[in-house]
Amino acid sequence: MRIAIPVTGGFLSPHFAHGEEFLFFDAEEGEVQNRTSAIPPPHGPGVLPQWLKEQGADVIIASGMGSRAQALFSEQGIRVVLGAAAKSPDEVVASYLDRTLETGENICDH
């Protein structure tokens, strides 16, 4: 499984499309095996879902995301987890993998 996390200033970015970079966590049997980063292409309609699919993402964890982006991720077969707190990416992924990730409401209103 490959988990994508949008990051700004070292923490989960409040809105997935505004991340300075994406961290990718490759996990097997609940353990992170590899961690890489990549600078996303310029934001535009449909660009990030396609790019993240090309990067091999299976899951994206974000604080907020618009409904159109959610639909595009669904079309790409990428699971979206919303409402995660702006914590360190390592902490977010660890809690996701051990099924303790607390999520709230989607902070994006478009």
Q: Domain spans of the chain? A: 2-97
The set of long-range contacts for 96-101, using a CB threshold of 8 Å and a minimum separation of 24, is: 96/3, 96/59, 96/61, 97/27, 97/30, 97/31, 97/32, 98/30, 101/61
How high is the pLDDT of residue 92? 96
Query: For domain 2-97, which architecture applies?
Result: 2-Layer Sandwich (3.30)
Task: Write out pLDDT tens, residues 51-81.
Answer: 999 999 999 999 988 888 899 999 999 999 9
How high is the pLDDT of residue 96? 96
How high is the pLDDT of residue 40? 94
Other beta carbons within 10 Å of 97: 17
How high is the pLDDT of residue 61? 95
Ranges of residues in the chain with a pLDDT under 50 are none
Eight-class DSSP state of 30: T
